[in-house]
Amino acid sequence: MPESLSELKALSENLLYAWDRHIRGLFWRMDTALWERCGHNPKVFLRRISQQRIDELAGNAAFLEEYQYVLGLFRTYRDQTSRPSALVAEKLDSEQGLIAYFCAEYGLHESLPLYSGGLGILAGDHCKAASGLGLPFVAVGLMYRQGYFRQQIERDGSQKALFQPHDLRDLPITLVCDDNDAPLQIVVPLPGRDVVVQIWRAEIGHLALYLLDTDVEGNDEADCSITFQLYGGDKKRRIEQELVLGVGGVRALRALGLEPSVWHVNEGHAAFLMVERCREAIAAGTTFEAGLEQVAAATVFTTHTPVAAGHDVFEHDLAAAYLAPYAKAMNLPLEQLLALGQSEQNQTAFNMTTLALRASRYQNAVSRIHRGVTAEMEAHIWPQVPIDESPLQYVTNGVHVQTFLSRQWSYFFDMHAPGWRARQCDHHFWHDLVASIPDQQFWLQRMSIKADMLDYVGNCLARQYRRQGVGEAHIERRLAMLKPTFGRDPMVLVFARRFATYKRATLLLRDAARLAALLNDPERPVILLFAGKAHPADEPGQALIRALVEQSQQPEFAGKLFVLEDYDLAMGRQLVAGADVWLNTPLYPMEACGTSGQKAGLNGALNVSVLDGWWGEGFQGDNGWAITPYNHSDPEQRDHYEAEDLLDLLEDEVIPLYFNRGHFGYSPGWVARAKASMYTVLPHFNAQRMLLNYIENLYIPATRHGRRLARDNGKPAAELVAWKQRVADAWPGVTLSRSNGRPEQIDSGEPLELHIEVQLQGLSAEDLRLECVMTRVRDDGETEAGICCLLAPENGENGTAIYRLAEPIEVPGRYEYQVRAYPHHPMLAHPFETGLMRWL
């Protein structure tokens, strides 16, 4: 490498290239064909590019100028060190410590294939946004040598899963070494042995992602392969991976000298980190209970799906075998440790989500609807608390705009509003900017992005068909529709997501004849693209792919309906950028959030989706279309109705609007909707907004709470534990009764008198809080939330207390009221944390 180009290496080693299009553009320009052949992997690219080409570029003034420009951008980003941007500075305490983020998968870029789907991409977006905000942040994951599988689809529609080992030198990671340049290693106890783990480091802008790897000399062959595959293997392999991630992750951060003040656990996969931190606390001299209380105080847990496959449950014997070394190290009866993952419904097996909920005080779901579903599923954690008031919060997911906004739109905004990256969450800015684009220009821009996407898709499909042995003439005929000519562009519907059955990829095909009629109108050409992987063990998911491929070969669908193989981030970016309509048909309420529709929406595609997940919050009437889920007990009937609604929508509204071309060849009504999609989705459903919500509602409170309980060697935590025990023992005997009469009627201006006598069972009056909860009864008989009034105690006789309304209530109209009591302590993270509540 000539001296003048030596910094290309630095550009290839920081994943900033995953979202900085200027950096990728530079590599692309150096040798476009090679860049594509190398799978957009800069390290491989720089190794393979010919010396002749390099020398040529080193003497090319125009290239050098661009190189210097990109290098300048890179340095500027890199040197804006970890000072939080003004936006965050407002929200962050000066003392906000390090946030440690744990996840089993990370989807940052196709060159680092450590992801399978939504969870991984979200984790990647979270990290990218954290780098952008300059947060003190570190991420921990596993280094899967074989990553997730590459998918091939055969001619008959069967899926072939290829796990290919990577040469780790090809990936944008470096091995972490100690001061003597020897690989830094830690150990993770597994039954009868210690597994040695080494650590890789990936640079994500300002922050580091540490990846744990058991393929180390000294481990036996089976242990070397623990971290080979993402979501491969059986339950035993899974618990081994999760111990390496959770326990190994904590040990790795300690070995690196990092002291997080908040631990963010994503899905139960990483929940063993709580066990390891309890072990540390016990080793430092606390009790198990007080240690757990301290650990939980500084822990945020996010649950990402209601689907059972997302919640690991280990058989009792398996969990017992693997947790035994930890119980021993903690000097704890094994059953006590196992109890953390058990519940009333689930008395023997070990549920990782249950562990995570018990050992965290800050918990969230990933959309409003998902919060309700999860609060119901996990109600056993707070058994007496109404679902609506469950301590479970939600932070709706968002996507990383710089990653998923198409190249063409990014450059367009660079030209017309250069500060747009810093104003991601500014609704007015986006409204005004997008509204100001002339309609015709907006349409042309979208058509040009779509043409690029169809070109990409055509190349992918041609490669796929050739491999399947389809003849050239046939390929050409089949792909004819993907080459639009001006004024006769097809409308493109896309369904791209994992083929999990709840996503119902084939819903649209329930009435195949009707769909065929829609696709085959010569005046209104419509094409339908499907892409996605099914987990290798998911037979029903693979059957969906087969069904789609079979349909795609029927005469009425050939050349109109396509199934693309090997959906990944690179393909995802293309599809979300160029789709006209983004389809999503999940089975309500199983789509926790869904993020691909957000990516499409911010590019100006229109979502046509079941009102589930994020779309329940994002749909505003004019920014896409919604299918209302049917609440029908018969699944067949429900699917039938929803499929019918979907086809009605497409036939009556979506397709006619798209082809309703005005004088200038574009559809003004469509442009209005596409603009609304862009300026409503982009400023809200982005990763920066998501991260700001996490900071405000979870990270900052958890940091404070963790520090508060850890003071004086954890004395407050020990006190809180003792108090909780006292309350739990007394609670079954605590009773409420009304000691004054119930008035027949209260006239306006007259106060409501409430005297409630409470049997305290040895608790003090301050240990309880009594409230009068008022619900307004409307004229139509429906109720709506009213107010909640505090009752103040006076000492009564014989271990009782009398509580009266602290302030007179004066509310006109008809109300229902109920009195409730729950334990109260100033050091609780949430008023209902104990899960105890009693109603009168």
Smallest separation (angstroms) from ligand PLP to the CB of 566: 10
Q: What is the sign of the dihedral through the CA atoms of 419, 423, 426 and 430?
A: positive
Contact between 572 and ligand PLP by CB under 6 A: the answer reads: yes
With respect to ligand PLP, which residue has the nearer C-beta, 38 or 569? 569
Strand, helix or coil for residue 815? strand
Site map for ligand PLP, 481-510, x if CB under 6 A?
----------------x-------------
Smallest separation (angstroms) from ligand PLP to the CB of 19: 13
Number of residues that bind ligand PLP (CB under 6 A): 13
Contact between 118 and ligand PLP by CB under 6 A: the answer reads: yes
Site map for ligand PLP, 598-617, x if CB under 6 A?
-x------------------
Smallest separation (angstroms) from ligand PLP to the CB of 500: 9
User: Using CA atoms, how far apart are residues 295 and 316, in angstroms rounded to an integer?
Assistant: 24
The sheet carrying 735-738 orders its strands as 735-738, 755-759, 800-805, 783-795, 768-777, 815-823, 838-839
Q: Which stretch binds ligand PLP (CB under 6 A): 260-268, 406-414, 563-571, 762-770?
A: 563-571
User: Using CA atoms, how far apart are residues 288 and 330, in angstroms rounded to an integer?
Assistant: 8
Smallest separation (angstroms) from ligand PLP to the CB of 625: 17
User: Using CA atoms, how far apart are residues 326 and 277, in angstroms rounded to an integer?
Assistant: 11
Cα 809 to Cα 335, 749, 750, 789: the distances in Å are 50, 9, 9, 8
Contact between 117 and ligand PLP by CB under 6 A: the answer reads: yes
Contact between 124 and ligand PLP by CB under 6 A: the answer reads: no
Cα 139 to Cα 268, 300, 430, 501, 742: the distances in Å are 16, 14, 31, 31, 58
Residues 325-384 that bind ligand PLP (CB under 6 A): none
Among 594, 618, 683, 716, binds ligand PLP (CB under 6 A): 594
Among 224, 569, 671, 829, binds ligand PLP (CB under 6 A): 569
| DSSP string of 571-640, one letter each residue | HHHHHHHH-SEEEE---TT--S--SHHHHHHHTTPEEEEES-TTHHHH--SSSEEEEPPP--SSHHHHHH
Smallest separation (angstroms) from ligand PLP to the CB of 128: 13
Contact between 391 and ligand PLP by CB under 6 A: the answer reads: no
Smallest separation (angstroms) from ligand PLP to the CB of 627: 16
With respect to ligand PLP, which residue has the nearer C-beta, 198 or 542? 542
Q: What is the DSSP letter of 308?
A: G
With respect to ligand PLP, which residue has the nearer C-beta, 597 or 786? 597
Give me the residue label for tokens 């409470």. Answer: 758
The tokens of 769 are what? Answer: 């809080």
Q: In sequence order, which ranges of 331-393 are alpha helices (DSSP H)? A: 334-338, 352-358, 368-377
With respect to ligand PLP, which residue has the nearer C-beta, 188 or 592? 592
Q: What is the DSSP letter of 193?
A: E
| DSSP string of 247-298, one letter each residue | IIHHHHHHHTT--EEEEEEESGGGTHHHHHHHHHHHHTT--HHHHHHHHHHT
Q: What is the CA radius of gyration of the chain?
A: 29
User: Using CA atoms, how far apart are residues 117 and 121, in angstroms rounded to an integer?
Assistant: 6
Among 568, 580, 612, 767, binds ligand PLP (CB under 6 A): 568
Written as one letter, the residue type at 5 is: L
Smallest separation (angstroms) from ligand PLP to the CB of 121: 4
| DSSP string of 29-71, one letter each residue | HH-HHHHHHTTT-HHHHHHHS-HHHHHHHHT-HHHHHHHHHHH
Give me the residue label for tokens 């998501």. Answer: 690
Q: Residue 801's closest CA among 818, 834, 824, 826?
A: 824
The tokens of 446 are what? Answer: 């979208």
With respect to ligand PLP, which residue has the nearer C-beta, 490 or 597? 597
Q: Which stretch binds ligand PLP (CB under 6 A): 117-125, 316-324, 757-765, 812-820?
A: 117-125
Q: Element (H or E) spanning 530, and its range?
A: strand 526-531
8 A C-beta contact, residue 136 and residue 95: no
Residue ranges with strand state E in 332-427: 350-351, 362-365, 393-394
User: Using CA atoms, how far apart are residues 730 and 624, in angstroms rounded to an integer?
Assistant: 54
With respect to ligand PLP, which residue has the nearer C-beta, 208 or 453? 453
Helix pair 61-79, 21-30: axis angle to 10 deg: 150
Hey, how many other C-beta atoms are within 10 angstroms of the C-beta on 56? 12
Hey, how many other C-beta atoms are within 10 angstroms of the C-beta on 229? 20
Among 121, 195, 509, 650, binds ligand PLP (CB under 6 A): 121
Q: Which stretch binds ligand PLP (CB under 6 A): 113-121, 411-419, 468-476, 659-667?
A: 113-121
Smallest separation (angstroms) from ligand PLP to the CB of 584: 7
Residues 690-729 that bind ligand PLP (CB under 6 A): none
Contact between 306 and ligand PLP by CB under 6 A: the answer reads: no
Contact between 595 and ligand PLP by CB under 6 A: the answer reads: yes
Smallest separation (angstroms) from ligand PLP to the CB of 531: 9
Smallest separation (angstroms) from ligand PLP to the CB of 373: 16
With respect to ligand PLP, which residue has the nearer C-beta, 564 or 821? 564
Give me the residue label for tokens 């005297």. Answer: 755
User: Using CA atoms, how far apart are residues 119 and 500, in angstroms rounded to an integer?
Assistant: 14
Cα 50 to Cα 22, 58, 71, 788: the distances in Å are 22, 13, 22, 73
User: By the criterion CB under 6 A, which residues form the site for ligand PLP?
Assistant: 117-118, 121, 497, 567-569, 572, 594-597, 599
